[in-house]
Chains A and B, each alone.
Chain A
């Protein structure tokens, strides 16, 4: 329980820190747009030469693209910054500051950094996924949606 409280505290701190740099939001927005357009152009290019790719339709691959952008956003928002900081701290000897704190060190090194503007990617990934799903011909219902949501969790956590 304490781990959750500490994570939440660091999250709030990180958000406050990031809110100082508001132009970064627009930079993230622009970068997300560029990445999205690139993905769509690649899909359009592939499907201008074929109807389906080994049984995968364009809408289905659009869903895959959406999930990829979504997960990429989550990784760049939370996982990667913390891993990078861990590597740098080991090298610079600053990891001691985390190790000497009276808290689970593994929790600490996993939650210290957050890049909230990367959430733009999570949103754009969800939009792409929704658009893709609306075009897919196969039927799916709440059970499939729930299974999908659950399956995203472990792929998003480095446990």
Chain B
């Protein structure tokens, strides 16, 4: 009698890779259909978020107008373009945040996740990636409305558009890795909130979320060059709004890749120690 071995087992690495792709596609598709069900809630959430960049935009446009059209060489039209593109990049940047690890551990959801044969990280990346598809679709009419209101000056070439299309996913992955790594703190303390706040503040100031980085003092720009933050905010926005050369675009995307790998490495190390500490009942 012959035993029927599932085909996947024979294929080794290739089979593993294929089932991983399958996992990602299925999870992402589930997220798309789930989040389209909640499209109104998603839209109101998005509208609520628009307040932040619009305030920044109005402030800097006011200053630019007072000073005869520009601040540090940045025109009102540039600010409009910067903060409108900002809204998409910010939306791409919403990931499984560090504070949610506390919820995941406390409610026992992690028990279920640990029973699965792959890291929870894969589900998070796939699920939020699927959600992003919904976000991008919902964002388009909003961007058109904002463009009518604020008159942005935006004239990217084809290479810039392509680079932007890649860079927003790079930003998504960078922020995913660092938020997940930071979330590992929840295995040691239930009072991570202050640390997460501190991280968010550093990000706000050093990433280009608050202002385009050239408006920052030189020493701040110098520091932020060696941190991951700007590669998830300023760089993707600038690929579309700025005037990067092709070389600079490619180099920037490679730096993004580097930060993704660094973040992943930190997460893997932190996860190894964190999971040893974990014990729970129920869930």
Contact = CB atoms under 8 A, between A and B. Distances in A.
Contacts of B211: 45
A42 interface: yes
Interface stretch (A5-13, A49-57, A89-97, A138-146): A49-57
Contacts of A31: 193-194, 197
Contacts of A24: 191
Contacts of B204: 38
B191 A45 contact: no
A50 B63 contact: yes
B216 interface: yes
A59 B162 CA distance: 45
A35 B194 CA distance: 10
B198 A27 contact: no
B21 interface: no
A48 B215 CA distance: 9
Interface in B93-148: none
Interface stretch (B8-16, B66-74, B236-244): B66-74
Contact of A34 (B201, B210, B217): B201
A113 to B, nearest CB: 18
Nearest to A21: B191
A149 interface: no
A61 to B, nearest CB: 10
A37 B197 CA distance: 12
Interface in B190-214: 191, 193-194, 197-198, 201, 204-205, 210-211
Contacts of B197: 30-31, 34-35
Contacts of A16: none
B166 interface: no
Interface in B48-72: 59, 62-63, 66-67, 71-72
A36 B6 CA distance: 60
Given A49-B63, A54-B62, 20 more contacts: A24-B191, A27-B191, A27-B193, A30-B194, A30-B197, A31-B197, A34-B194, A34-B198, A34-B201, A37-B201, A38-B201, A38-B205, A41-B205, A48-B217, A49-B71, A50-B63, A50-B66, A53-B59, A53-B62, A54-B66
Interface of A: 23-24, 27, 30-31, 34-35, 37-38, 41-42, 45-46, 48-50, 53-54
